[in-house]
Structure 1
């Protein structure tokens, strides 16, 4: 009898310990000890994906049932966020919190960032509580979990790049007359009211990148199409929620009018190599992510490059890129960070999701320090020791 009880206990423990893994293979499914400490200290409630999805509701800013706050850097927010979200980076809280000046203090707010290891969301949630907001919660699984399960909202730079490179199917969800009058060049018309009869226009490949748009932040039509695509099994679906009004306001070409934007040919091209020979990415301050990823995996990072992991000492100790050194950038002032960088090297910042490396670089640039040989690697990096899984983030430009 005693043996049977022990076996039953082992089975139960096994089921409990593997249940989270079954739902999200290979990923952390609870806060890291550091983040959990912040959650406990600030007395924050953590909600799950189902809860967050219910609050996103229609996906529009006026249709969401709660206010969602993305605590990541603005560049990460613009690349892709949870629909209806506003951006309040933890490092620029004072600059961005003004967006909430007319929000009632009892409004339900869900704060998130780059996943279970990300401490930005509890920091912002605590700041909001200190500012008098009384109903603040965390969706700590954040943007990484949402991205796997649902569509995202993207900014102007993303759809502009996709349109220029023909790298996505762009769908105009507005009525067909609106489409005929004026649309984004290359977009196809699938009005949300005609989706059943026109769904044959959706791409055959369910992994194809798709971006929908309509008449702006209050327009639900693009969200309706995006939800339909997700229900049909499409994996890479985004909504350009700012829509046609933002595209036109930016002076970009439409099927009706000539572009007022400055031609790329009139703009001096940025050098694609650093002075020391580092291949640069299209985003200012970035290293070419795919090129750098190949060098890391082949163990051929040039000797003139020093990778600087800007995460905390605790995170660095648990795993980091081979050859990296650790300088935790967040608590340091720009001059302090700059003074700690190795001299005579081309510096490449990295972190776990790209956000903190971008911030470290921006901190130096904003202080007018010489960043001519300082760059960042924008990638999701998950390391156990020096065994690292790297997923390069798509550039904005």
Structure 2
């Protein structure tokens, strides 16, 4: 459902410098001193023509759930041009510009016709959202709504999600503090140069690293579009009073795949013939290279073929909402982030080998480390380090993460 379209960094940089990531943008072709609080006559006519319901900011805030595409309760669609979408959008949104509907609508090929969809654009006088919404209704989508106040109102009240061109511009101009919300081991294995380690679960301990100036632009990122940790960090930064927070939802995987500079190079190792490694197993479970992991490709093959051994308890540590949107067949949902190590350990099945997973590997790694640090016996507790997207039937698209080494 994700379509990556990278516009010119120059265009996006211009949008950033004009304040699009933190301030409501002027919309429409004719500037007006009046701040609109309702649709213009033209837009109202389109809303009535297509029989569209308009929802408010509070409704949209609830609809996006934890901010990820997997965690959102509704599908948000930004109807503005792609460069504007990449510069600043509402978290979890995908982009279907009103002038390029045929090019972008393929993202909805696997979306159920009764899925709740909320379309928005550049504000009360923007016709793009009702045009796209009307088109979706004509294609048989039955639960299409508008957030006509759109991106300008959202940005005035909450943090935006930004795309790769926007992040490249901020990085090039050294105009934001980058914060890596992934677990420390992943941060140390490679990150965006200059990024500060700031796990959402350790922010109280690490808050001394935060900028003194609450107006400092901050970009939070983690392990990609399925990773909630960057959004969790953004919300905590908001609680601390920071005013210019953005989430780079593509995160480190997208940055790395785009060939951008990372810290992963390090000093060159002396090339030596690697000693052959002997596979390690615990009760038939093949272990991975990193501490606490199962062998990713081995476990993926079992999931895909529906042959997970009977002695394995599959534990999904995500939120109940994320779990309900799709999970590995037979998984049990125990949200680790809200529990102490003792509470979490008490809920794990007894007499089984436990293999934990989340959506991108970060939260399951943290759950394992939480148990280990609390001196819980983890000899039969492991985690699956992978990006996982499952539908409600249990069919999963899985990309195994590289070992940290």
TM-score surpassing 0.5? yes
Q: Which residue of 1 aligns with 2:201?
A: 91
Cα offset, 1:335, TM superposition: 1.1
Q: Equivalent residue for 1:128?
A: 237
Structure 1: gaps spanning 5 or more residues: 34-38, 58-62, 164-183, 187-252, 254-263
**1:185 and 2:185 are equivalent in the alignment:** no
Question: 2: distance between equivalents of 1:330 and 1:364?
Answer: 12
Corresponding position of 2:369: 362
Cα offset, 1:284, TM superposition: 1.0
Structure 2 distance, partners of 1:91, 1:12, is: 37
Higher helix share: 1
Q: What is the Cα deviation at residue 327 of structure 1?
A: 0.9
Match of 1:49 in 2: 164
CA contact (8 A) 1:56 1:84 kept: no
2:74 — aligned with what?
none
Equivalences for 1:142-221 in 2 at 5 Å? 142-155=251-264, 184-186=269-271
Q: Deviations over 1:174-205 (max 9, x none)?
A: xxxxxxxxxx535xxxxxxxxxxxxxxxxxxx
**Closer, same or farther: CA 81–368 of 1 in aligned 2, 3 Å:** same
Deviations 1:53-86 (A, max 9, x none): 10111xxxxx722111111211222333233211
Q: 2:336 aligns with which of 329, 334, 337?
A: 329
Q: Distance in 2 between matches of 1:89 and 1:26?
A: 34
| Match 1:349 to one of 346, 350, 356 | 356
Partner SS for 2:193: coil
Q: Tell me how many residue pairs correspond in the alignment.
A: 270
Label 1:377 to 1:154 Cα distance change in 2 as closer, same or farther (>3 A).
Answer: farther
What is the DSSP-based 3-state SS (H/G/I as helix, E as strand, rest coil) of the residue aligned with 2:285? coil
Can you list the C-alpha shifts for 1:252-272, whole angstroms capped at 9, x where unaligned? x9xxxxxxxxxx99xxx9982
Relative to structure 2, which stretch is displaced further, 353-362 or 315-324? 315-324
- For 2:288 and 2:157, how far apart are their aligned partners in 1? 39
Deviation, 1:26, is 9.3
1:315 matched to 2:326: no
Counterparts in 2 of 1:56 and 1:118: CA distance versus 1, 3 Å: same
Question: What TM-score, normalized by structure 2, do the two folds share?
Answer: 0.58
Change (3 A) 1:395 1:159: farther
Structure 2 stretches lacking a partner, 5+ long: 1-48, 51-95, 112-116, 119-153
Partner of 1:387: 395
1:257-272 → structure 2 map (5 Å cutoff): 272=280
Give, in whole Å, the separation in 2 of the partners of 1:78 and 1:124. 18
Q: CA RMSD in A?
A: 3.7
Q: Which has the higher contact order (CA 8 A, sep 6+)?
A: 2
The structural deviation recorded for 1:49 is: 1.8
Shift in Å, 1:44: 1.3
Name the structure 2 match of 1:289: 296
Between the aligned partners of 2:317 and 2:346, the Cα distance in structure 1 is 14
Quick check: 142-151 or 374-383, which moved more?
A: 142-151
Tell whether the 8 Å contact from 1:115 to 1:145 is kept in structure 2 after alignment.
yes
Asked if structure 2 preserves the Cα contact closer than 8 Å seen for 1:379 and 1:392, the reply is: yes
Structure 1 distance, partners of 2:312, 2:99, is 45
**Kept in 2: contact 1:361–1:374 (CA 8 A):** yes
2:304–2:396 contact (8 Å) kept in structure 1: no
Q: Is the 8 A contact 2:364 2:384 kept in 1?
A: yes
Q: Secondary structure at the match of 1:90?
A: coil
CA distance in 2, matches of 1:321, 1:108: 38
C-alpha displacement at 1:147, in angstroms?
Answer: 3.2
Counterpart-to-counterpart distance in 2, 1:271 and 1:142: 32
Q: Tell me which of 166, 172, 177 is aligned to 1:67.
A: 177
Give the superposition deviation at 1:277.
2.4
Write out per-residue CA displacement over residues 152-185 of structure 1, whole angstroms, 9 at most, x where no aligned residue: 5244xx768xx6xxxxxxxxxxxxxxxxxxxx53
